[in-house]
A and B are shown apart, each in its own frame.
Chain A
Amino acid sequence: MNGKNRMGSRLAMALVFFFLYAPIFVLMVFSFNDSSSRTMWHGFTLDWYKELFQDGIILQSLYTTLLVALLSALIATVAGTFAAIGFYNMRRRWRTPLLTVNNIPMTNADIVTGVSMCLFFVAAFGLWNAFAQQFNESHTAQLPSLAMGFGTLLIAHITFNIPYVILSVGPKLRQMDRNLMEAAQDLGCTWMQAFWKVMLPEIKPGVVNGLLIAFTMSVDDFVISYFTAGPSTSTLAMTIYGMTKRRISPKINAISTLLFATVLLLLVIVNLREMRQERARKHPGAQREISSRRGNLIGAGALAALILVLVLLSRQSGERVVNVCGWGENIDPALIEQFQDETGIRVNYQTAESNEAMYSKVVMGGSGYDVIVPSDYMISQMRQEGLLAELNFDNIPNYALIGDAYKNLSFDPDNQYAVPYTWGTLGIIYNTTMVEEPITSWSALFDPQYAGQVLMINNPRDAIGVALLYLGYSVNTHDEGEIQEAYELLRQAKADGVYQSFVMDEVYDKMEAGEAAIAVYYAGDFLSMYDNNPDLAYVVPEEGSNWFVDAMCVLKDAAHKEEAEAWINFICETQSCLANMDYIWYASPNAEALAQYPDYYREAYGEEMDPALYEVMAAPEEVLANCEAYDALPAEVNAVYKNLWTELGIKG
């Protein structure tokens, strides 16, 4: 190949590498940006790294990721090596079909592997828990009930890692001279001795390679973990996926940079070592021995460093835990810290995206959560399906602080199952600089004039609900024709390109950055967006809207009911409510806290709270009079919603 050609090909390769690395480079640069903007440079800072190391959730998920990668890679390497030896000694008749099965996790789509294992765990644990319950009733011994979590995550990772190890070890076994093992055994070795002294050194490159591939695959995986980790365990990828659905923090950039730098360092060390070995091979002799020993030393050092990181990251896991599932951006993290300090109960705070997603997770994920915070209509549905536990109000004395307006509501007529957490209205958030005139009607959401500028809410109840409101129907209608009509409105608007996308908590970033002009979302969230972008405005449209109550419930099969009630009681305290209201801007049902909030605001910020903003948060009587709460819908209407919602997703 002549020099000119080589220039061309190298240029092409350089372009590909630029393509591969430019986004990573951008990610890293913005980890040092002195602003939460991901596109505008505001000066250098290390704040995001500081915040990163204070973020318990990210560190915990990093720990889970590394631990599961290390354990699954090690276990898969040992198991896979022995399995490969077994296959190698097997008759072809048996080996071929077994190797085909072995290939399934590698060739199958990740989502199918993930989903199938998820179904399997749910079914297996369902059987086990039913059995354990029976057993515990008739015996004094207590069998534990099982739920998806770290164990299932590990099993899943081992399962998809072993095939890679077999694939890597197999060829080395085939290359090995079969007579070597026999010779060793003829000379008096037991099989085990021969394995250690003869076979292992021969297949070592394959084993090491398998270990590395397994570790890589495990670190890189998202989809399978997503379906098998259960509700209370989270890998880094899952945490990031959760975060990209909310307000994105440059903490993600910071952790990416750290990961990248670590891997780069490791690879440089490994490669330098290999190069040195190669050089040593050219001059054989004493040097080789030394470099190989040094190689082992480096390997051991890397492993030790990894274990050290794991130990540093691992937190003293106290005996008492409570698994809470709420909404994103819907709690003041300081409250979690305070509760942990006061009670010694560790709070494992997870988030769901919408009521429907929370329901799926509860039903699919088995019994991971203790406390969930669904909205009114979902509470009714879950109560009717027998998913909720009756609360012991002796443990929740602060329930007395909840205002009467939020008691005896239709979702919990006898106040047995739910303790209200927040309330508010659904409305339109718009950017006053991006629309011609103030928005007053839901019609803006279906108007081709705003093509590409509208963010529609990504859950069936709210989206179909606002269409029903616009048409003048009740949000609780059972009439299939009316629901169909509302769907048709959404479908047409989607076909006209009105919707930029369907979002839940992604709405924060997009509205704050001016990515879209109009969004459907909740009053409290508007206030926190308004904090970052004063061009935004909120309106409860003239056709009326939905007013909602989100309430804390305990699941029937909660493993930590007492801790759950302690948490609920803590959250109901007036001080907690005030702090939380100040952080999330959702109105509290604690009457005292709601009334005191303007004073709290004055003290905290040294200025009066804008009464207009207070009215957005705690909608006054005349606004609420025009709003309707969601009721639980009968199963057949729910099915209609579900089908139409899927159809809307498919179309367009």
Chain B
Amino acid sequence: MKNKRSLFALPYVVWMAFFVVAPILLVVFYAFTSAAGDPTLDNFRNMGDYLVVFGRSFELAVIATLVCLIIGYPISYWMAKEGPRFQRIAMVLIMLPMWMNFLLRTYAWMSILENTGLLNRLFAAVGIIDLGNLINGGLNSLCAALNGAFGLSLDTTRDTAMTYFQMINTSGAVVLGMVYNYLPFMILPIYSVLVKMDNSLLEAARDLGADSVTTFRRVIFPLSLPGILSGVTMVFVPSVSTFAISRLLGGSSKMLLGNLIEMQFTGTTYDPWLGSAISLVMMVIVVVCMFVMNRFGEGEEQAVML
């Protein structure tokens, strides 16, 4: 009886074999094959050259994940404390942008951040750019004075004739895009853990004399760890592999792993073998990171998603 019903999973298992396992194996196969079809390790030989890209991608993704965590955790915490009606509306408001495609959300930032964009127009209108020029001028003369007095070599060439702040095409813009797009993925899992937390545990902690900081540190935070781990995964993985955000907001001069991979498949330097090798390395690093992180949260329930 029991085994018979398990056959319900059979079609899906076959499906997975074809469309999940076989494709991944193919990536591995391509990574170890040359264009002519011979087995080779050449695709990995130049991996050292791409270290910069790996470094930059992981750096930006880590920053974005941390920012998401720093913003997302308190928001989830406060949300979980509100009344049910407030919670529901807040949840809907957080989910709502996800129904607009993420490219639309990224695109929205383009017109805000451009040199002649809305933010720069706003800054110019209220005089912030002039203020920036003034401060730079002040700093320049201060540095010049200091240089003269103490023989230092401080920078005195700050731009004093800015007409805009450079925001688009910077790493900051890329991080902003990541945070903006993936913040809901951090809030949702943390919130869903916090909201299910048994209130009597907190009361017990308080009864046993813990102050609110101790309660948070010893009870709430450890219990919310699965949510955090899940949130971190859901923000970090898409951030480290994005190519659209860096393309739209980073101006393609700050190449990330996603751009490097995309270039090899549909972009300007057709080389799916190299692309597969880079994908494989990225996949392995991400899996190792996740494994280490989950060990760190060991003993807790497996990460919950959504």
Contacts and interface: CB of A to CB of B under 8 A. Distances in A.
Nearest to B259: A649
B248 A244 contact: yes
B305 A227 contact: no
B100 A82 contact: no
B98 interface: yes
B103 A237 contact: yes
Contacts of B238: 109-110
Which of the four size classes fits the interface of chain B? Answer: 35 or more
B108 interface: yes
Contacts of B252: 458, 501-503, 649
Contacts of B253: 494, 499-502, 652
B219 interface: no
Contacts of B92: 267, 271
Contact of B26 (A123, A271, A354): A123
B53 to A, nearest CB: 5
Nearest to A79: B12
A359 B99 CA distance: 34
Contact of A356 (B98, B237, B243, B267): B267
B146 interface: no
Contact of A649 (B79, B88, B93, B260): B260
B143 interface: no
B186 to A, nearest CB: 11
A252 interface: yes
Contacts of A30: 111
B116 A514 contact: yes
B48 to A, nearest CB: 11
Interface string A95-110: 0001001101111111
> What range describes how many residues of A lie at the interface?
35 or more
B270 A106 contact: no
Interface string A458-469: 111000000000
B96 A263 contact: yes
B8 A86 contact: yes
Nearest to B121: A39
A174 to B, nearest CB: 13
A629 interface: no
A109 B286 contact: yes
Contacts of A631: none
B263 A649 contact: yes
Given A23-B112, A117-B23, A359 B270 contact: yes
Contacts of B110: 38, 244, 248
Given A117-B19, A123-B26, A244 B103 contact: yes
A394 B162 CA distance: 62
Interface of A: 1, 9-10, 12-13, 16-17, 19-21, 23-24, 26-27, 30, 38-40, 79-80, 82-83, 85-91, 94, 98, 101-102, 104-113, 115-120, 123, 155-156, 159, 162, 164, 167-168, 191, 213, 216, 219-220, 222-223, 226-227, 236-237, 240-241, 244, 248, 252, 256, 259-260, 263-264, 267, 271, 274-275, 354, 356-357, 359-361, 363-365, 452, 458-460, 494, 499-503, 513-515, 642, 645-647, 649-652
Interface of B: 2-3, 5-13, 15-16, 19-24, 26-27, 30, 49-50, 52-53, 71, 74-75, 78-79, 81, 85, 88-90, 92-105, 107-112, 114-118, 121, 166, 169, 180, 183-184, 233, 237-238, 240-241, 243-244, 248, 251-253, 255, 258-263, 265-272, 275-276, 279, 282-283, 286, 290, 305-306
